[in-house]
Amino acid sequence: MSLTLTSADFTPGGPIPAIHTCDGANTSPALSWSGVPPDTRSLVLIIDDPDAPDPAAPKMTWVHWVLYNLPPQANHLPAGIREAELPRGTQAGLNDFKNTRYGGPCPPIGRHRYVHKLYALDTVLPDLRHPTKPQLEKAMQGHVKAQTELIGTYQRGH
């Protein structure tokens, strides 16, 4: 069975509801996963937008949420979860909004893709003190047992 990531709030490739964006409550969508390899020691979740700032001329990948050391027995995050409610042991990294919370889609122009990436690691990472996505990816090197992704899209009203 392979690692899979789904959301009760949007279908793969479908639109992310406005409640989960800067146009709504800016709360995280519900995420569920299955197929975690049996020898997994921790999970990593990264949500980013490869279409920033303009899908017609992307210049950067904007990072929306970084979580690591999620316990392997955890199989979901409910919608709107707050940092204090994350599964025990979970640590947060720094997003491009310069904080450790979920930052919802807020594209300046066009329809952007939001890539929700889940990684199963063969280790528990040390306390990286709110790492950026590149710092976390460096720490993960050589430890990824499985990975999957779920893409949602969002375009602001005109």
**Model pLDDT, residue 147:** 98
| pLDDT, position 158 | 58
How far apart are the C-alpha atoms of 150 and 58, rounded to whole Å? Answer: 20
The alpha-helical segments, DSSP class H, found in the chain are: 133-140
Residue 118 has pLDDT above 80, yes or no: yes
* Amino acid 113: pLDDT: 98
- 25-50 pLDDT per residue, tens: 999 999 999 999 999 999 999 999 99
pLDDT at site 10: 98
The reported pLDDT for the residue numbered 86 is: 98
First to last CA, the chain: 42
Structural domain spans, the chain: 4-154
3-class secondary-structure state, position 85: helix
Neighbours of 38 (CB within 10 A): 7
Convert the pLDDT of each residue in 9-23 to its tens digit: 999 999 999 999 999
Percent of the chain with pLDDT over 90: 98
pTM: 0.97
Give the pLDDT confidence of 73-98 residue by residue, as tens digits: 999 999 999 999 999 999 999 999 99
| Domain 4-154 is found in CATH 1.10.3720.10 | no
Give the pLDDT of residue 154.
Answer: 98
